[in-house]
Every structure is written in C-alpha cells, then in structure tokens.
Amino acid sequence: MCRLIIARGRFEATAILDAALSMSTGVTALDDVPTRVHPNGWGAVWRTDDGALAAHRDHRAFVDSRESAGLEDLRTDMLAVHVRHATLPEKTGLRFAHPLERLDDFGPWYFMHNGFLPTVYQRLGLSASAFDSAEYFDYLLPHGQWELDVESTLRRLREIPPGGTSGNALLLNPRRAYVVHWTIPEAPYQDYFTLRRLRLPEADIIASEPVPALAAAEHWEALPPATIIDLPFTTGHERSIRRAA
C-alpha cells in the first residue's frame, strides 16, 4: 500500500514534499486504515524548465533520505511524489521503488501505483505474478500508446479478475498526467483508497489523504469512484473528467 500526491500549477515544492512526508509517517492517516507508515522507498517526478520530465527514486524511507535528493529548492509547475509500503516483504529495494519507467517512441512514461493487484498478470497471459505494479502498468497502458483512452481503460479495469484492492495510479508523460482513481468495489478500506482533490487559486493538488498543512479537511473533495482525470501540461487547464456509468 502506498500514498500518492500530485500538484500542478504554482506551488512550493517543499510544501508538497512536506505533505508526502506527513503521509509517509502516518501524521495525516485516517483513523481506520490498514497501513499508517510507508517506509519502503519513495520516488518523485517533476517537470523541468524545458518541459521534459525528471525522476528520482530511493529504496530508503522518505523520512531518512528526503534531504539527500536535493529537491528542496526545486522550481516546477508539476510535482508527483510516491511513498511506499510493500504489501509483500520480499518486494523491497530500488527495483520496486516508484516511479516505474517505460521509454516509448515519443518519450518516457512514468507510473506510480497505490494498491495491490495480484491477479492482473492473468490479463497479460502470464503464468505467475512477479511484481503486480509493473504488470498493472503494462495492462493499464499497452506499449506504444501515447494517450489513455478513458472508456476502454475503465472497461479493462472492470475486467481484472477478483482479488486485491486498488488500482489508484498516476501515469505521466511529457505532455500530460493521468490520475486513475479506481478501487475494487468489494475491497475493504474504501476510504483509505479514496483520492482527495484540493483546488487552490493557482494550483490543483490530488492526494491519497487530506493534508491539513495545505488546507483544512473540508476543502479536500473526495473523487467519485471509477474516475480518470486528464491533466495536460500544455494549457495549464484540465481537459476532461470522465466517470464510469
């Protein structure tokens, strides 16, 4: 299980990093949750001055390695952070740290996942699961695809065999970010897997938990189930929000 946050617009990177730290150490955790602390590595993706994406990964706990990343003075209009709690103890180390990365013809895709989907490998025709998040990345975004089709993606999510919890994810390329908000309807701890959105005058923030240091809880809007949000970087405005029927 993991925690995610993405900010787009005008914001202080340190505030977003502080929010990720609060989520990783359980400061902002809800009362009834399966996991409060997320110490098994972390990663970040951000936009550079020339519109490219840069990334950082670390196998250590965020609280122990944040300063060594050199992101405190980062100036960017998009920053996403992932802090991880490994569902399976053997799936730890830098190999399993997010963001996962894929290089397609037009450029890179970065991927961050919160949840556990141990059956998604079956949809890829594999004999067993090696790393559910990597398999989910391949399933959610077939190779060579440079945009995420909302309706077909929601259909594919519903076709994942029973088992597991959530498919909440961030997919980022140099043109846009997609926020996938989807949890298996029968999974426990639905509130734990509900993403929240904070709309500020100059920034748009989506996170796994309300972060009081950014705004009081009543200002965080819970995303509806089965929602995919498309956040293009070119216009600075959200292009569309689509939901399942």
pLDDT at 244: 42
Residue 183: both structure tokens together: 């949890």
Amino acid identity for residue 166 in this structure = S
Count of alpha carbons within 13 angstroms of residue 131, beta-carbon side: 16
What was the pLDDT predicted at 89? 85
Query: Which residues does 99 contact at the CB level (< 8 Å), separation at least 6?
Result: 43, 44, 45, 55, 57, 80, 82, 110, 111, 112, 170, 172
CA distance 219 to 129: 39
Please give the pLDDT value at position 214.
Answer: 98
- Tens of pLDDT along the chain (245 residues)? 799 999 999 999 999 999 999 999 999 998 788 889 999 999 999 999 999 999 999 999 999 999 999 999 999 999 999 999 998 888 899 999 999 999 988 789 999 999 999 999 999 999 999 999 999 999 999 988 889 999 999 999 999 999 999 999 999 999 999 999 999 999 999 999 999 999 999 999 999 999 999 999 999 999 999 999 999 996 444 443 444 43
Question: Token digits for 20?
Answer: 């990720």
- pLDDT score at 111: 98
Question: pTM of the entire structure?
Answer: 0.94
| Residue 143 main-chain phi, psi, to 5 deg | -60, 140
Domain coverage including residue 225:
2-243
**Domain tally, the chain:** 1
84 close to 111: Cβ distance less than 8 angstroms: no
Distance of alpha carbon 57 from alpha carbon 48, whole angstroms: 17
CATH number assigned to the domain comprising residue 95? 3.60.20.10
